[in-house]
């Protein structure tokens, strides 16, 4: 393995988990991210560490993967997770026939599901609609993506990874058919430079297809860019994640995200993940649907809204129809096999909740390609997070070559306050880069 260099493009949850997995196996790996921590979909998601129950009825593989990482991430990154629990409820007038199928599907996927007496639920969740007729509890949790990705990157750095923020891959280097490196643009200075690698992993999420198409003429990955809007109410109404008991659909879930409630979501196809509009009617729709679960949301109204883009894989060529029916499972493409282009592979799909598993599986593939025998240990490695109460802050600062002041700033990031609330995007990039370079 000596001397072999791997690049990972994209510092969302997927790329960050891959870099951690490869670095922990002793591989020389560099992460290249064009913007900030969580600047892609991973910073604009719904906040759920899925139990898998949401997918149990129509997407069993995604459900099974979710419950595995739900347990593992809670163990390795407890500082990122709130163990809220979740509940699936049918309301009077809903199709009650889902109850048995839901219960059996969860059990089959290995998800601990329990029938919950409606009176107990109403007692414990006083804001919930009193028209609940059936309720099931599941181990849904809430995860802070900024903390999770930052923890993955701090851990990867401690394992020897190089983390390059604000660097955009603008082209690839080729030797014959082989992809042998990347051309990157420094988005702060505009400087262009070239880096050589033995293997490149494209984990650029919703941008993955475009990157391959525009710079390598690879058109084999048919992606569906399914955007989703989330509407935030500045008040927490429930201990648990509240879900409607039906197949995944628009406006069927409220996530208690620290002190707020996030109602989601919608699903609409976009062409360009950097440039799309949020329909104001969708916000009214989400408020109305949210009120069916928690009537009180109506009297508070929506304080802000945002949208992210799911990088999904079309079920078959040309498929672009109902994006709700596309699997949330992930896929790995070896472009040597699919496009006669050695030196690069792509991972797309999945969820933030399955990032660690995705990181492990593509790293297994990278290792088998490079002839490396080291096994993944990421299900056991506790992720780093600066602990202000301990004297080891200065030790951590020295071992990571990150000034104590920045580690303190990371550790102070609480609730919905993130770097972006503290700094302008440019200052944020300057500060974030000091963390890693």
Supply the minimum distance, in Å, between the C-beta of residue 390 and ligand FAD: 30
Residue 364: both structure tokens together: 């297994």
Q: Which is nearer to ligand FAD, 89 or 347 (CB)?
A: 347
Which residues bind to ligand FAD, rule: CB under 6 A? Answer: 9-15, 32-35, 39-42, 45-48, 50, 168-169, 203-207, 211, 228, 230, 265, 308-311, 350-353
Q: Which helix (H) or strand (E) holds 6?
A: strand 5-9
Pair 319, 223: CB distance under 8 Å? no
**Beta carbon of residue 34, minimum distance to ligand FAD (angstroms, whole number):** 4
39 or 181: CB nearest ligand FAD: 39
User: In whole angstroms, what is the distance from residue 103 CA to residue 305 CA?
Assistant: 33
Residue 428, token pair as written in the block: 């944020």
Nearer to ligand FAD, 14 or 105 (CB): 14
Tokens of 427: 């200052």
Q: Provide, rounded to whole angstroms, the least separation between the CB of residue 42 and ligand FAD.
A: 3
Q: Smaller CB distance to ligand FAD: residue 358 or 372? A: 358
Q: How far is the CB of 393 from ligand FAD (least distance, A)?
A: 28
Report d(CA 323, CA 342) in Å as an integer.
Answer: 31
CB of 380 to ligand FAD, least distance (A): 21
Q: Give the 3-state secondary structure of residue 93.
A: coil
Which helix (DSSP H) or strand (DSSP E) does residue 30 occupy? strand 28-32
Which CB, 58 or 133, lies closer to ligand FAD?
58
Beta bridge partners, 48, equal 142
Smallest distance from ligand FAD to CB 131, Å: 26
Which of 34, 362, 359 is CA-nearest to residue 199? 362
Q: In what order do the strands lie in the sheet with 192-196?
A: 167-175, 178-186, 192-196
State which residue, 105 or 353, has the beta carbon closest to ligand FAD.
353
Q: CB count, 10 Å around CB of 188?
A: 13
| Beta carbons within 10 angstroms of residue 280's beta carbon | 9
Q: How far apart are CA 403 and CA 401, in angstroms?
A: 7
Classify residue 161 by its DSSP letter: -
Closer of 265 and 418 to ligand FAD (Cβ): 265
**Residue 78 C-beta: closest distance to ligand FAD, Å:** 17
């Amino acid at each position: 393995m000596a001397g072999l260099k791997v690049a990972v493009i994209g510092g969302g949850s997927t790329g960050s988990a891959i870099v951690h997995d490869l670095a922990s196996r002793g591989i020389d790996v560099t992460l290249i991210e064009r913007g900030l921590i969580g600047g892609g979909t991973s910073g604009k998601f719904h906040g759920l560490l899925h139990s898998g129950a949401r997918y149990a009825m129509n997407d069993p593989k995604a459900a099974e993967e979710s419950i595995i990482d739900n347990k593992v991430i809670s163990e390795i990154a407890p500082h990122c997770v709130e163990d809220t629990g979740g509940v699936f409820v049918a309301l009077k007038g809903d199709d009650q026939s889902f109850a048995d199928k839901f219960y059996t599907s969860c059990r089959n996927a290995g998800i601990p599901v329990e029938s919950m007496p409606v009176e107990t639920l109403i007692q414990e969740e006083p804001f919930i609609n009193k028209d609940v007729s059936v309720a099931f509890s599941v181990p849904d949790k809430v995860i802070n993506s900024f903390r999770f990705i930052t923890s993955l990157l701090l851990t990867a750095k401690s394992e020897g990874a190089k983390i390059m923020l604000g660097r955009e891959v603008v082209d690839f280097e080729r030797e014959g058919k082989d992809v042998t490196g990347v051309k990157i643009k420094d988005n702060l200075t505009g400087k262009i430079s070239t880096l050589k690698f033995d293997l490149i992993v494209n984990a650029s999420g919703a941008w993955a297809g475009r990157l391959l198409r525009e710079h390598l003429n690879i058109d084999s990955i048919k992606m569906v860019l399914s955007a989703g809007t989330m509407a935030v109410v500045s008040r927490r109404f429930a201990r648990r994640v509240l879900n409607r008991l039906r197949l995944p659909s628009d406006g069927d879930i409220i996530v208690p995200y620290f002190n707020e409630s996030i109602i989601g979501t919608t699903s609409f196809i976009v062409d360009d993940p950097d440039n799309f509009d949020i329909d104001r009617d969708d916000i009214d729709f989400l408020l109305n649907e949210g009120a069916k679960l928690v009537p009180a949301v109506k009297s508070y109204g929506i304080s802000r809204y945002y949208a992210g883009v799911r990088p999904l894989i079309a079920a078959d060529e040309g498929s672009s129809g109902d994006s709700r029916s596309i699997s949330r499972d992930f896929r790995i493409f070896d472009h040597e096999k699919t496009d006669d282009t050695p030196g690069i592979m792509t991972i797309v799909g999945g969820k933030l909740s399955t990032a660690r598993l995705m990181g492990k599986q593509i790293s297994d593939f990278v290792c088998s390609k490079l002839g490396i025998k080291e096994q993944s240990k990421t299900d056991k490695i506790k992720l780093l997070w600066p602990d202000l109460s301990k004297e080891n802050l200065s030790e951590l600062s020295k071992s990571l070559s990150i000034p104590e002041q920045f580690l303190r700033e990371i550790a102070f990031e609480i609730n919905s306050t993130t770097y972006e609330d503290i700094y302008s995007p440019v200052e944020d990039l300057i500060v974030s880069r000091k963390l890693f370079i």
